[in-house]
């Protein structure tokens, strides 16, 4: 919310009930040009009120509203919505939560509905259109009226195309092309009795309450998920809610963000110094460019060579950063031996992350002394993004942490440097757009991500210098081949995982081999919250396998990972 307040822009609040799609709602809002944030569904009313949203969306979730342990909004939330005339959109569980809280009825379906359905929009009569239009001019939060209907439809209009959307449907559906339109269902419960004042404004063959509305109070509920790409016109529906019903102004863009964030950083940092934890990846590169443009010589970038970087990574990163960010101060610190010594005998992934995170900070603080920069009161730049924040605040119930995040794992409690995270409210695609806005070369902006722990989380088991060298060679061959084939730019992230404890028999020439296996991993994704395995052309896979087995001593078998996220994660550890 801090950046939205600084930019003085409209915002949408999403209350999260644990849906795997919650982050997609945030992304759709931002793609439309309106800033949005995610909060837990049980957020206290003061925090909700202070967010000053133009509208609120209730996400889906894996629970049943009538169960004892089901998550709910705080009781004061419904009074707040009623008093402020706050436009409200409930999606799936969000619809059921709204119905349950407002004295409707939700019951278990005879069978779970999962997949596509045909949504048929109903036409409003003259009285319903009048109610809708009156509600649209009622005072909203901060006294700003919501947007009026674009034009009053002609009730006698005849439609030549029976599948076209009538102008007499609710404003929530304006701009949609087809009626019926294809939507995506994913639910085990359904509304069986509407709350008082609500009516159905769209149906499917299996749901008479697929979309419901309280016309006077501007409250809406959808049984389907408009945020997923499987719903053909879902983004337009969300756009209608945000722009037409909430009356939000689309002013969220990276040009405005860059200007506002640089001003904020100058005020926060003052005369102090910032030490940048640079890796050459898009996040740290964009963060470095932003800081350099904001505070100039007070920012100093440092690349720690842990011995776990990719092939030729250290010198190449330094050269690229200096070339693409003219005037940037950046140095490379060789800490290879320290990291291999610290990781000797360690096999547990979480221990690896903690050790690496702690040693990183020690190296940075040591670097400040070598570079004669003041440690006390200084800042450490981190490339934390909004998906990292979502994973820590999302409503997940009793589920355990999957794994410590790359950027924050292992930071010691008594750190002398204060962490600075200027990108923490951005998604990956927004970071890339910001990089282009700052004038960074496209090759750096669209470079695949590389995790903070480096190759350490791509070597399963104990990490040794020899294993790191073997993996480095295999990884370099893989990236070289997908660049030559043109697949690199179609892939969100690609790398090789070494499986030291998985050995297999092979034949090279006339000799028997008994060596390690490795696994190629490539995923297609736009936000890294979800990802699908990349359908690599067979000829590219064949070349990668042949080259790795023939050129890398120690590997005699290559596999390809076809796991999606979820249920798998992108990285193996």
CATH of 252-394+404-444, one of 3.30.559.10, 3.40.50.620, 1.10.3720.10, 3.30.70.890: 3.40.50.620
Flag whether pLDDT at 163 surpasses 50: yes
Burial of 139 (0-12, 13-18, 19+ CB in 10 A): exposed
Domain 1-136+161-243 and domain 252-394+404-444 have a common topology = yes
Contact 124, 168 (CB under 8 A): yes
Rounded Cα gap, residues 361 and 354, in angstroms? 11
CA distance 103 to 105: 7
Binding residues for ATP: 279-285
Dump pLDDT digits (tens) for 329-352: 998 889 999 999 999 999 999 999
For the chain, the structural domain boundaries read 1-136+161-243, 252-394+404-444, 463-558
In this structure, of 48-52, 197-201, 361-365, 506-510, the range with the lowest mean pLDDT score is: 506-510
The pair of structure tokens assigned to 268 is: 């926060």
- Greater confidence (444 vs 520) lies with 520
Q: Which DSSP string do the residues of 323-360 spell out, in sequence order?
A: HHSTT--EEEEE-HHHHHHHTTT---HHHHHHHHHHHH
The residues annotated as belonging to the active site are 92, 225, 227
> Residues in the chain, how many?
573
* pLDDT confidence bin for 368, thresholds 50/70/90: confident
Q: Is the pLDDT of residue 289 over 90?
A: yes
The whole-number pLDDT of residue 160 equals: 52
pLDDT band at 105 (very low <50, low <70, confident <90, very high): very high
What pLDDT is recorded for position 208? 92
Number of other residues whose CB lies within 10 A of the CB of residue 393: 13
Cβ proximity of 520 and 561 under 8 Å: yes
Query: What number is the average pLDDT over the span 489-515?
Result: 89
- Pairwise CA distance, residues 308 & 287, whole Å: 22
Q: What is the largest CA-CA distance in the chain?
A: 87
- Residues 512-559: pLDDT tens digits? 788 999 999 999 987 777 789 999 999 999 999 999 999 999 999 999
Say if residues 454 and 352 touch (Cβ distance below 8 Å): no
Q: What is the C-alpha R_g of the chain? A: 27
Q: How many CB atoms lie within 10 A of CB 241?
A: 24
- For tokens 């081949």, the residue is 481
127 or 269, which is more confident: 269
The annotation places the binding site at: 279-285
- The answer to whether the CB of 393 falls within 8 A of the CB of 387 is no
Cis preceding linkage at 20, omega within 30: no
Query: Mean pLDDT lowest for which of 61-70, 137-146, 205-214, 297-306?
Result: 137-146
CB of 114 closer than 8 Å to CB of 268: no
How would DSSP label each residue in 500-549? EEEEEEEEETTEEEEEEEEEEEEEE-SSSSSBEE----HHHHHHHHHHHH
Say which residue, 552 or 372, is predicted with more confidence. 552
Angstrom distance (rounded) from CA 391 to CA 413: 21
What global pTM score does this model have? 0.81
User: What pLDDT does 176 receive?
Assistant: 94
Q: Say what percent of the chain tops pLDDT 90.
A: 62
What tens digit of pLDDT does each residue of 469-484 get? 999 999 999 999 999 9
Residue 159 has pLDDT above 70, yes or no: no
Mean pLDDT of the chain: 88
Burial annotation 394-415 (CB, 10 A radius, 16+ → b, else e): bbeeeeeeeebbbbbbbbeeee
Confidence of residue 375 (pLDDT cuts 50, 70, 90): low
**Mean pLDDT value across residues 89-112:** 92
Strand 35-40 to 55-58 pairing:
unpaired
Q: Above 70 in pLDDT, residue 265? A: yes
Q: If pLDDT is split at 50, 70 and 90, which confidence band does 567 have?
A: confident
Res 394: pLDDT? 66
- As a CATH number, domain 1-136+161-243 is 3.40.50.880
382: closest CA among 330, 433, 417? 417
Average pLDDT over residues 150-173: 64
pLDDT of residue 125: 87
Helix (H) or strand (E) holding 191: strand 181-193
Local confidence band at 157 (pLDDT 50, 70, 90 cut-offs): very low
Enumerate the H helices of 347-497 as residue ranges: 349-370, 386-393, 428-437, 442-445, 465-485
Is residue 126 reached through a cis peptide bond, with omega within 30 degrees of 0 on the bond before it? no
**Residue that wins the pLDDT comparison between 37 and 406:** 37
Q: Please give the CATH number for the structural domain made up of 463-558.
A: 3.30.300.10
Most confident option among 186-195, 356-365, 381-390: 186-195
pLDDT at position 417 is 76
- For the residues of 289-327, what is the DSSP string, one character each? HHHHHHHGGGEEEEEEE-S-S-TTHHHHHHHHHHHHSTT
Model pLDDT for residues 37-79, shown as the tens digit of each residue: 999 999 999 999 999 999 999 999 999 999 988 999 999 999 9
Please determine, for residue 150, whether its predicted confidence score (pLDDT) is greater than 80.
no
Residue 99's pLDDT is 97
Note the pLDDT of residue 135: 67
Answer with the residue of higher pLDDT: 55 or 387.
55
* pLDDT, tens digit (0-9, with 9 covering 90-100), for 227-249: 998 899 999 999 999 999 999 99
The whole-number pLDDT of residue 156 equals 44
Which is higher by pLDDT, 227 or 409?
227
């Amino acid at each position: 919310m801090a950046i939205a307040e600084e930019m003085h822009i409209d915002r949408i609040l999403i209350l999260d009930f644990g849906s795997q799609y919650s982050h997609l709602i945030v992304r759709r809002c931002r793609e439309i040009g309106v800033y949005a944030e995610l909060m837990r569904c049980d957020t206290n009313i003061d925090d909700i009120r202070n967010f000053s949203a133009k509208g609120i969306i209730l996400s889906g979730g894996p629970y049943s509203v009538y169960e004892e342990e089901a998550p709910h909004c705080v009781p004061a939330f419904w009074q707040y919505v009623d008093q402020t005339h706050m436009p409200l959109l409930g999606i799936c569980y969000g619809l059921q939560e709204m119905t349950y809280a407002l004295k409707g009825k939700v019951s278990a379906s005879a069978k779970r509905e999962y997949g596509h359905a045909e949504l048929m929009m109903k036409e409003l009569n003259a009285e319903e259109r009048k109610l809708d239009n009156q509600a649209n001019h009622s005072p909203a939060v901060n006294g700003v009226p919501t947007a009026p209907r674009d034009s009053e439809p002609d009730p006698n209009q005849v439609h030549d195309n029976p599948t076209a959307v009538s102008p007499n449907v609710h404003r929530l559906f304006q701009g949609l092309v087809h009626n019926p339109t294809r939507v995506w269902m994913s639910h085990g419960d359904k509304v069986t009795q509407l709350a008082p004042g609500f009516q159905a404004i769209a149906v499917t063959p299996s749901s008479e309450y697929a979309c419901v509305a309280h016309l006077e109070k501007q409250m809406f509920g959808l049984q389907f998920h408009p945020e997923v790409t499987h719903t053909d016109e879902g983004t337009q529906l969300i756009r209608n809610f945000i722009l037409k019903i909430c009356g939000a102004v689309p002013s969220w863009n990276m040009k405005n963000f860059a200007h506002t964030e640089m001003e904020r950083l100058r005020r926060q940092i003052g005369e102090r110094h910032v030490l940048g934890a640079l890796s050459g990846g898009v996040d740290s590169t964009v963060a470095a460019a932003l800081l350099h443009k904001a505070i100039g010589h007070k920012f100093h970038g440092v690349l720690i060579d842990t011995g776990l970087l990719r092939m030729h990574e250290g010198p190449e990163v330094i050269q690229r950063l200096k070339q693409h960010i003219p005037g940037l101060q950046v140095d490379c610190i060789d800490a290879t031996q320290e990291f291999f010594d610290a990781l000797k005998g360690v096999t547990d992934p979480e221990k690896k992350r903690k050790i690496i995170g702690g040693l990183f900070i020690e190296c940075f603080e040591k670097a400040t002394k070598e570079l004669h920069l003041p440690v006390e009161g200084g800042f450490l730049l981190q490339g934390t993004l909004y998906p990292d924040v979502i994973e820590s605040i999302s409503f997940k119930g009793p589920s355990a942490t999957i794994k410590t995040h790359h950027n924050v794992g292992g930071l010691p409690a008594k750190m002398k440097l204060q962490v600075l995270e200027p990108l923490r409210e951005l998604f990956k695609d927004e970071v890339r757009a910001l990089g282009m806005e700052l004038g960074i070369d496209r090759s750096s902006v669209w470079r695949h991500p590389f995790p903070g722990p480096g190759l350490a989380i791509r070597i399963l088991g104990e990490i040794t210098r020899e294993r790191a060298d073997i993996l480095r060679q295999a990884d370099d061959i893989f990236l070289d081949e997908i660049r030559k084939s043109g697949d690199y730019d179609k892939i969100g992230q690609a790398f090789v995982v070494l499986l030291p404890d998985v050995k297999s028999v092979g034949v090279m020439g006339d000799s028997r081999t008994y060596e390690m296996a490795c696994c190629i991993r490539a995923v297609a994704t736009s936000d890294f919250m979800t990802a699908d395995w990349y359908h690599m052309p067979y000829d590219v896979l064949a070349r990668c396998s042949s080259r790795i087995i023939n050129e890398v001593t120690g590997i005699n078998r290559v596999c390809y990972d076809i796991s999606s996220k979820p249920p798998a994660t992108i990285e193996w550890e």
